[in-house]
Structure 1
Amino acid sequence: MDKEKLLEALETLKEKSPKRNFTQKVDLILNLRNINIKNPEENVDVFVTLPNQPGKKIKICALVGKELEEQAKIFDKIIRKDEFAKYQDNKKELSKLASEFDYFVAQANLMTDVAKIFGRTLGPKNKMPNPKSGAVVMPTSNLPELKNKLERSVRLKTKNEPILKTYVGNEKMNDEEIIGNIIAVHDSVAKILPQGESNIKDITLKLTMSAPVKVEK
C-alpha cells in the first residue's frame, strides 16, 4: 500500500470532519471484487493482530478450570467450570454475558461443556472462543501474552456482501500508528484472498460520525 496516499486520505478525513464531544473511532472499509461469498472457500473470516493498540477498551471473559483460575484473574471476568451449571438454560444471564464481553477465552479441555452451555448464545453473535484468535487455550498457556494479543486484535468477516469493516484506531492516535494498523489489516486480508490484492476493489476510511473518504490508488 502507498503510505503517502493513506496519509492524504487520513488528513482529508480529519479536516472535513466536524469536532465531536467524544473521541471518534477510525474505521476501515475494504470493498472486495470477484469474490463469491456464497462459496465457503472464498468467504473471509480472519483475526488480525494490529501493531498498535487501537484505543478501544476490550472486555474479556475467561471460562476456565482450576489450572488457569489464578492466571485468568487478569481478565475482566472469570467463570470457573464449577460455575458453568448456573448458566445452563439461563437465557437472561447468557444474553447479558454476550452483550458485555468482546472476547471469550476457554480452556481447550472444557470446550465440550462450553459449547453445550454457552454455544447457543455466543455462536450466533460470533463470540464463541475461537482457535483462530488464540482464545482456546491449554492449561499451561501464557494468559498475559494472550490478553495483550486480544487487546490488539480485530476480526474481519464477510456476511451478506463482499465488504469488510473494522476499526483501526481513534482520532487521538498519531497518523503513523493508524496507518500501521491499516497496512496490517490490508496485508493480512490480501494474503488470504484468492487473487490477493486484486480482489480489493477500493479502500475507504471514516470516523464514527463522518462521511467516508476513499483512499486514492
Structure 2
Amino acid sequence: MSWVDVDRPGVRTVVVGNVSRWDEQAVQVLDVLAATGRELTGAVRVVVLVLDGSITTGARSTTESVRSGLVDLSEAECDAVLAGYQDAVAWLRRADTVSVAAARGPLSGPAVDLALSCDLRVFAHDVSVTLGGPPLLGVTDRLVALIGSGRAAELALTGRPVTAAEAERLGLATRVVPGSDLRAATDDLVAGLLATDRAVLAETKALFAAPGAAAERGSFARRARGLDPG
C-alpha cells in the first residue's frame, strides 16, 4: 500500500503518520495540517488523512511534552495556545469538504483526536484505539455522538484499548478492512463521496456540527498546568 502521489481531481491526501503523544512532533503535525487547510482550494471535495505509524513523515521525534510548555503560562495564554491547536484541524470539518481518516496500527493521544476530527474513518484490522483521557482537538461532542456519553466516559477514564472490530461495532470506525485493502477501501469510499452532489454533502455535514471545543481546551489546560481538582 502506497500513499505517495495519490492526489487526484477533487481529492487532497495528507500523510501524517501516526502521532501517539502530545509532544513537539504532534505540534509539528498540527502545523502541517494548519498550512494544508490554509492552502485548500474550493476544487477539493474530499480530504484523506493517512494515520500510519509505519510511514516516516519527516517530523522530528522528541520527548518534550506539550504540557511542559504550558505550565508557566497564564490562563489566557494557555487557552490561546490550545485554541491554535484546535484551529489547525478545524478545516477538516468544513461543510463543503468531507474528510476521511485512513488508519492502521495503534491509535492513541493526538492520533485518536485526528481520526475523530474527520467525518469518516476507515480502519485496518490491526488498529487499536486508546483514548487515555479526554480529547483536545474539539471532538468530544463527536465522540459522544458516535458511541454515547457513558461509553465515551468509560474509554476516556479507563484507557481501555478498543480493537478495530469493537470500534466498528461502537461506531468509531466507519469501515474495518484487512490492512492490505486499506488503500482500496478508502478509494472506494472517496469515489462514493465524489459521486454525491456537493450541495447535499455540505448540507448534511452542517446538520451534525456542534460546539464543545472551548470546554476541551479548559480541561486540557487545567491538567497541563497542575490545576486538576483534588
Q: TM-score range by the shorter chain?
A: under 0.3
Higher relative contact order (CA 8 A, sep 6+): 1
Provide the TM-score with structure 1 as the length reference.
0.27
**Which structure dedicates a bigger proportion of its chain to strand?**
1
Provide the TM-score with structure 2 as the length reference.
0.26
Higher-Rg member (1/2): 1
**Which structure dedicates a bigger proportion of its chain to helix?**
2
